[in-house]
Amino acid sequence: MSVKTILAAAARTATPTIADEHDPNAEGVHVVIVVSALTSTPSVVPKIQGKDPYGNYYDVLVGSAITDVTVGTPPATVVLKVGPGISPVANGAAADYLPDTWRVVMTHADTDSITYSVAAVMAE
């Protein structure tokens, strides 16, 4: 197993650019989103996308919009899971192999501030 920070904790009001991840040995991933503060009513949709050999992205798993979470101690946590043998859950888990090249996308629907971090725990 390996752990990687995808996005450090920061307040965001727009969709960030996130680099591709490349790990041909990883079979699955848990993407952990920790929300520690929000203003008003933000809406952020997390996705795990694969990249085909021609450079095109496709959705592997689309999470539910993060809109109104209970922020406190501990902070609110959203986990997206992809891997063989995982029980599928709508907007939460996919029984699929993680593509060799993949990325996380955090699509903001408005400019209300939301503070979050994104990490990946990859299973090999």
List pLDDT tens digits, range 80-104: 999 999 999 999 999 999 999 999 9
- Predicted pLDDT at 73: 62
Q: Residue 110 contacts by C-beta under 8 Å, 6 or more apart in sequence?
A: 41, 42, 43
pLDDT score for 74: 63
- State the pLDDT confidence band at 76, using cuts at 50, 70 and 90: confident
The structural domains of the chain, ordered by start, are 2-123 (2.60.120)
Q: Does residue 72 contact residue 30 with C-beta atoms inside 8 Å? A: no
Predicted structure pTM score? 0.92
Task: For residue 13, name the pLDDT band (cuts at 50, 70, 90).
Answer: very high
